[in-house]
A = this chain, B = another copy of it.
Amino acid sequence: MHEAKHILSTDQFERDELLELFEEADEMEKILEVGGGDYLHGKIMATLFFEPSTRTRFSFESAMLRLGGSVISNADMVNTSSLKKQESLEDTGRTVSRMADVIVMRHPEAGSVSKLASFCDVPVINGGDGPNDHPTQGLLDLYTIWKERGSLDGLTIGMVGDLKYGRVVHSQCKLLKHFDVKFVLVSPKALAVPEEIGEELAGVGREVKLSEKLEDAIGEMDVISMTRVQEERFKDRSDYEKYAGAYVLDGELMKKAKPDAIVIHPLPRVDEISPEVDDDPRAKYFEQPGNGVAVRMALLKGILMGEDVK
């Protein structure tokens, strides 16, 4: 088995690779403007989603098709697959490896994608493995900042919401630590960023400021990274309701934000950003799905055409 170039974790990316990836994604946007390319003609991507996600699946599939490749897709592995017949992830990986050139997998269980990848001799991309990681989301978040602000170094990054359970936040932190940024983390104490993430940031010398009040902290943020407080992370519904309403970005708060700040959000957005913010030119969250296609094109082109982007 040769060594396939999997995309499994945000931990695998270094600063230089990130910057190269962003340059390549920028190239992809130029290719998109002229109607896509045929770089991956004849290549097949298999999507294995053990947890449905139309946004992530469509984004990967669109990226593959924009490069001239093809797709075989299972949007709902749990209800329509041999896993019901107790097939192991290992065997699923070995089987699908023989039918496709790259596999994108999403699964509710931490570590599951790496487990599958270890038995695949084609590249595997982690499309989200439960509470653990969702590297391509983190990459498109950073690409959005890089694209909108021209650089990452020197920025103050605000993160708001559920910083304890929010997978997206953790992925962002692990990627942003490679840049000279300051973190302003806004959450209720009970939902503060996990200790190991804080230590990781401190370990590379990043300044981290904690706050409980968005209105006090928003004025110094260059990037306002909002996240949803996800009901499924709480065992107790009353806890969810208490925290869900705590940080809602609205027009009033935006008045206190810097004129060149940008607002990002992984989507789906429920009510943590008020619709009145949508038309604010600083709102970039509806640009992110397009940026995600470009980043995934760059990754797919890199791992399938032998150009080592990671």
Taking Cβ atoms with an 8 Å cutoff, the residues of A that contact B are 35-36, 42-44, 46, 48, 52-55, 57-59, 61-62, 65-66, 70-77, 79-82, 85-87, 91, 94-100, 228, 230, 267-270, 286-287, 289-290, 293
Contacts of A70 in B (CB 8 A): 65
CB <8 Å contact, B59 and A268: no
CB <8 Å contact, A293 and B66: no
| Partner pick for A99 among B46, B59, B77, B81, CB 8 A cutoff | B59
Known: A65-B70, A81-B54. A99 touches B267 (CB 8 A): no
Known: A42-B36, A58-B96, A99-B289. A80 touches B76 (CB 8 A): yes
Q: How far is the CB of A256 from chain B (nearest CB, A)?
A: 25
Contacts of A58 in B (CB 8 A): 46, 72, 74, 96, 99-100
CB <8 Å contact, A268 and B99: no
Query: Which chain B residue lies CB-closest to A90?
Result: B275
CB <8 Å contact, A65 and B80: no
Known: A87-B270, A286-B94. A79 touches B99 (CB 8 A): no
CB <8 Å contact, A75 and B86: no
| Partner pick for A44 among B43, B57, B66, B73, CB 8 A cutoff | B66
Q: In the A-B complex, list the 6 residue pairs whose CB atoms are closest, starting with the nearest.
A: A52-B80, A87-B268, A98-B290, A98-B289, A62-B99, A82-B268
CB <8 Å contact, B44 and A35: no
Q: How far is the CB of A76 from chain B (nearest CB, A)?
A: 5
Contacts of A77 in B (CB 8 A): 54
Known: A62-B99, A267-B91. A80 touches B75 (CB 8 A): yes
CB <8 Å contact, A54 and B42: no
Q: How far is the CB of A55 from chain B (nearest CB, A)?
A: 6
Query: Which chain B residue lies CB-closest to A294?
Result: B98
| Partner pick for A72 among B48, B61, B286, CB 8 A cutoff | B61
Contacts of A85 in B (CB 8 A): 228, 230, 268, 270
Q: How far is the CB of A158 from chain B (nearest CB, A)?
A: 22
**CA of A98 to CA of B140 in the docked complex: distance in angstroms?**
14
A-B contact pairs, 22 of them (CB 8 A): A44-B62, A44-B66, A48-B54, A52-B80, A53-B82, A54-B81, A54-B82, A55-B95, A57-B72, A58-B72, A58-B96, A58-B99, A62-B100, A74-B75, A76-B80, A87-B268, A87-B269, A91-B267, A91-B286, A95-B267, A95-B289, A97-B289
Contacts of A57 in B (CB 8 A): 72
Contacts of A96 in B (CB 8 A): 58, 289
Contacts of A230 in B (CB 8 A): 85
CB <8 Å contact, A79 and B76: yes
Q: How far is the CB of A293 from chain B (nearest CB, A)?
A: 6
| Partner pick for A80 among B54, B72, B289, CB 8 A cutoff | B54
Most B C-beta atoms less than 10 A away, residue of A48, A55, A59: A55
Query: Which chain B residue lies CB-closest to A35?
Result: B42
